[in-house]
Structure 1
């Protein structure tokens, strides 16, 4: 079996969740011994696994179809998570939905990260089989490291007793950036760091102004940082706070769980089926509730759920994701043959 993993504009999207998803796919396939190519000009492959949505992606699908190759579309994006992002995103969202549906319809099979994302695709009227498979997490990368944690604290010149709340995400309203800053204003005793970046010209002016000027001194926007600094932040911060309103999964949440970090998220449908409030994380709805939970979690007046959260990440480690991808590949290539793991994946309950 040889797979063409196609990812248009790889450099442009490398800093996004979709970019990390491709990296995880490559690792997952390597772990399973599945041969793959990233070169769309390589015609010696058995099936196309496509991740992106541009005109080149459409061309690659058309070429695969002409050669009789089956197509698997990895549905990372929905109308819902396009809203409240870039300038004009809300006006364009219905058109984006139509465009996505036109692409997804061309696939023999769809893969999407969560049951929630699957339910959205089904609500669009798509009838393709859809496998909910997590984007996965590299557990080894996020194991505790004193050296990485020291590098993080030194980078930001943090005092030993300084309490730090972190978030990782693009500069989007959808990600809860406005709430993050508002809550930070009311908790000046803590340092709030938002890791991530996006071209400033592409986001609405109010978000641009918040990031550049209109935030309190206890909020830091260091931009996109990779490697030991961000990995040290996941391990050393006092709390990972992710107030996003809409996700198809949230790879950064998995990264925090894998780091055995305390996790506070907004109670939204995407977490149904894997995150449970006060069992493996904490969830809130309003800024007032978030403030109370942040204080309680930092001061450890509520139970520490990091071990339980780690078990969620462990269940989504890359080796397991590789097994699930392989099961879908085998089913698409030889649907007449029984595939127990594929049956198990597809029997997941509906939300």
Structure 2
């Protein structure tokens, strides 16, 4: 049996997509591939494959041990994707970015969740043959598509009006996520109930913390900020919502979008080139606030338009299902272990 050790602190900071992706992979390996792989977490003993999910300094030091076997790095972010997320002094930012790339270069192989990032990684001097693309996925058990009666009951449970169109968004409250446009769209559509689940995962280090804190403390009457909640509650909100809206300016492969698809909730996103390689045609897109407003009104008033994107959510969820990804991860780990032996 192949021994895989996961080095990760992704689940220690709540409200991050990195943590969600990590937990989904652990669930997949333990529930579907336990006959092939023995999985340990943050274990310092010998392994055939060591998979690094986060770039903690102690994990970097571990890469110099011969016990690690084949070292796999999960690329959830690059220096350019950190911009707009954290407030760091210029010198600290330069050091952190250099360390990030040095960590990736210590790996024997890297896994990206979006193929559009392969050339960006290569630009840092990492060979193409050391990079593989394996998409994120979401378990339909954790994010089920509930029936109409259950969705109605969830609105009662969370005190959401039964007769209002509900727009839901999730993620860290930061400029990069486009929270400003989420707030502005709520202000322009008082007839719609808006809900944002997420908070300041990195506290006052979050870019724009002071400004967003004022908005959260005094939001528009039709906008609710829930703060950081558990994944089960995210699934509830996705099921009681009519539309998932993420106006983010930069993403790798947002777990929140896959979670929405899994719950059968139509999706509205900002038009980003990086989405074209993974979910092109599966969501409604717009370039700016005016476009978001037009799309929202169409979701509200055009049943055929709404049904089209609801069906697209359901069909796309099947494409990124655990069943499909289990075979891909199985082959990948077997190939990597074979090289290390």
CA shift at 1:96, angstroms?
Answer: 3.3
- What is the alpha-carbon distance in structure 2 between the residues aligned to residue 151 and residue 6 of structure 1? 40
The equivalent of 1:4 in structure 2 is 5
- Is the aligned partner of 1:269 residue 2:273? yes
Q: Partner of 2:160: helix, strand, or coil? A: coil
- Is the aligned partner of 1:77 residue 2:77? yes
The equivalent of 1:212 in structure 2 is 217
**Deviations along 1:204-230, whole A, 9 cap, x unmatched?**
3222222223x3111110112225532
- Is the aligned partner of 1:242 residue 2:246? yes
The equivalent of 2:98 in structure 1 is 98
Structure 1 residues 117 and 101 mapped into 2: Cα distance closer, same or farther (>3 Å)? same
The equivalent of 1:132 in structure 2 is 133
- What is the alpha-carbon distance in structure 1 between the residues aligned to residue 72 and residue 135 of structure 2? 15
Q: Partner of 2:21: helix, strand, or coil? A: helix
Structure 1 residues 89 and 318 mapped into 2: Cα distance closer, same or farther (>3 Å)? farther
CA shift at 1:283, angstroms?
Answer: 0.5
The equivalent of 1:171 in structure 2 is 173
Structure 2, unmatched stretches of 5+, are none
Structure 1 residues 117 and 155 mapped into 2: Cα distance closer, same or farther (>3 Å)? farther
- What is the alpha-carbon distance in structure 1 between the residues aligned to residue 173 and residue 296 of structure 2? 21
| Aligned-residue RMSD, C-alpha | 2.3
CA shift at 1:62, angstroms?
Answer: 2.1
- Is the aligned partner of 1:201 residue 2:204? yes
Q: Partner of 2:141: helix, strand, or coil? A: helix
The equivalent of 1:221 in structure 2 is 225
The equivalent of 2:42 in structure 1 is 39
Instruction: State which of 38, 41, 59 in structure 1 corresponds to 2:61.
Output: 59
Q: Partner of 2:277: helix, strand, or coil? A: coil
The equivalent of 1:343 in structure 2 is none
Structure 1 residues 151 and 2 mapped into 2: Cα distance closer, same or farther (>3 Å)? farther
Q: Are the counterparts in 1 of residues 71 and 109 from structure 2 also a CA contact under 8 Å?
A: yes
- What is the alpha-carbon distance in structure 2 between the residues aligned to residue 137 and residue 247 of structure 1? 17
- What is the alpha-carbon distance in structure 1 between the residues aligned to residue 145 and residue 11 of structure 2? 29
**Deviations along 1:63-117, whole A, 9 cap, x unmatched?**
3xx3361100111111122111122378755443322110011111100111122
TM-score by length of 2: 0.89
Q: Are the counterparts in 2 of residues 164 and 239 from structure 1 also a CA contact under 8 Å?
A: yes
TM-score by length of 1: 0.87
- What is the alpha-carbon distance in structure 2 between the residues aligned to residue 11 and residue 319 of structure 1? 23
Structure 1 residues 140 and 162 mapped into 2: Cα distance closer, same or farther (>3 Å)? same
The aligned length equals 330
Q: Are the counterparts in 2 of residues 296 and 302 from structure 1 also a CA contact under 8 Å?
A: no
CA shift at 1:2, angstroms?
Answer: 1.0
Q: Partner of 1:139: helix, strand, or coil? A: coil
- What is the alpha-carbon distance in structure 1 between the residues aligned to residue 288 and residue 6 of structure 2? 40
- What is the alpha-carbon distance in structure 2 between the residues aligned to residue 297 and residue 90 of structure 1? 43
**Deviations along 1:288-327, whole A, 9 cap, x unmatched?**
0000101101222552222222222211112322322222
- What is the alpha-carbon distance in structure 1 between the residues aligned to residue 111 and residue 118 of structure 2? 8
Q: Are the counterparts in 2 of residues 139 and 314 from structure 1 also a CA contact under 8 Å?
A: no
- What is the alpha-carbon distance in structure 2 between the residues aligned to residue 90 and residue 142 of structure 1? 40
The equivalent of 2:189 in structure 1 is 187
- What is the alpha-carbon distance in structure 2 between the residues aligned to residue 238 and residue 68 of structure 1? 47
What are the equivalent positions in structure 2 for 1:244-263 lying under 5 Å apart? 244-263=248-267
Structure 1 residues 72 and 144 mapped into 2: Cα distance closer, same or farther (>3 Å)? same
- Is the aligned partner of 1:158 residue 2:152? no
- What is the alpha-carbon distance in structure 2 between the residues aligned to residue 236 and residue 156 of structure 1? 9
Q: Partner of 1:225: helix, strand, or coil? A: coil
